[in-house]
Structure formats: structure tokens, C-alpha cells
Amino acid sequence: MIWQRVSVEDAQRLIADGWIYLDVRSEEEFELARVPGSLNVPFEIVQGEQLIPNDQFIDCMNQHFGRGERLLLGCRSGRRSLHAAAVLEKLGFTELRELQTGFEGSRDAFGQLTPGWSRAGLPVETGESDGRSYRDILSRREPPPKDEAGPP
């Protein structure tokens, strides 16, 4: 594993250093509240009352993000972002970090909650995402720079 799981405090520092916060929650979750400035590419999508794998996740990532782009992945509790990071690593993405507690928080083996981004009292953005929603990203057709794209 070349990527690391990070704390909320580490995530703040990474974002301040220019890392892209990639929210892999569903579009519906992203629209309700998110880390300011984040982009949304859901790892799973809502179908009926359940989450199912997003079969466009890999294509979207390949088309819109370079292999060397610094990406900090997050979801609600750390489960989806953990799986998404493993997938992206296999695709050749090299600059990955994953927010271990996610946006809301995660529970340990004893049921104790470790606060995520929002429950730690960090800034939260609501309302329009100004070109950073999944629909907005899909509508762009710009491939990543060739030197960062990896194999075709």
C-alpha cells in the first residue's frame, strides 16, 4: 500500500498544502454538506434505497485526474474512501491519502466514535458546489496531462 490513512488534522494540512479533497460519497450526500472546495466522484451511487458500485468511477477518474495528482479521498465514515483508494492505487495513482474517519466519523471495535470532518467542528460547505459536483465533472471532457495520465 503506497497511500496512507490520515486524521482530520492531517487532512486540514494536506488541503492547505493544495491537495484536492475528492469526496467519494453519493451525489445526494455531497449536495447536503461537504468539505469546502471538494470535488465529488461517487464510488457508489444510490439505486432505490441502497448504494451500488458506480460503474463509471474508474472511467471518470482516468479521464479527469492525472496519475500524479495529489488526492485526499473521503466519504461518510471511511469505508468507501478506503475501497476507492485501493482501486485507484491499482490503477497507478501515486499521490493518495484517505481520511480515515470520513465526513461524519467512524467507530472503533468497541463502538467509540472518532469524529470526522464535520463532527470535529471544521468548516462545512452547503448549497451549490460551483462546478465541483459529479455532474459537472462528467460534463468536462478534458483529459489529464499526458505525462500524468499513465498508460492509455
Nearest to 5 by CA among 92, 69, 86, 61: 86
Question: Which residue blocks in 54-140 are alpha helix, DSSP H?
Answer: 57-64, 79-91, 134-139
| Full domain range(s) for residue 136 | 4-142
- Is 150 domain-assigned? no
Q: Is 60 a catalytic residue?
A: no
3-state secondary structure of 62: helix
- Is 40 domain-assigned? yes
What's the rounded Cα separation, in Å, for the pair 109 and 52? 25
- Is 149 domain-assigned? no
Nearest to 68 by CA among 96, 98, 39, 38: 96
Identify the CATH number of the domain in which residue 55 sits: 3.40.250.10
Q: Each residue of 47-101: pLDDT tens digit? A: 999 999 999 999 999 999 999 999 999 999 999 999 999 999 999 999 999 999 9
- Is 151 domain-assigned? no
- Is 152 domain-assigned? no
- Is 85 domain-assigned? yes
Q: Quick check: pTM over 0.95? A: no
What's the rounded Cα separation, in Å, for the pair 18 and 13? 9
Question: Exposed, middle or buried by CB within 10 Å (0-12, 13-18, 19+), for 78?
Answer: buried
The torsion angles phi and psi of 82, rounded to 5 degrees, stand at -60, -50
pLDDT category, 3, cuts 50, 70, 90? confident
Q: How many degrees, rounded to 5, is the angle at CA 81 between CA 50 and CA 34?
A: 80
pLDDT category, 1, cuts 50, 70, 90? low
Annotated active-site residue in 75, 85, 88, 99? 75
Residue 143 has pLDDT above 70, yes or no: no
- Is 147 domain-assigned? no
DSSP character for 47? E
Query: In this prediction, what percent of the chain has a pLDDT beyond 70?
Result: 91
- The per-residue pLDDT for 11 is 98
- The per-residue pLDDT for 30 is 97
Specify the number of domains making up the chain.
1
- Is 120 domain-assigned? yes
- The per-residue pLDDT for 151 is 46
Q: Each residue of 4-49: pLDDT tens digit? A: 999 999 999 999 999 999 999 999 999 999 999 999 999 999 999 9
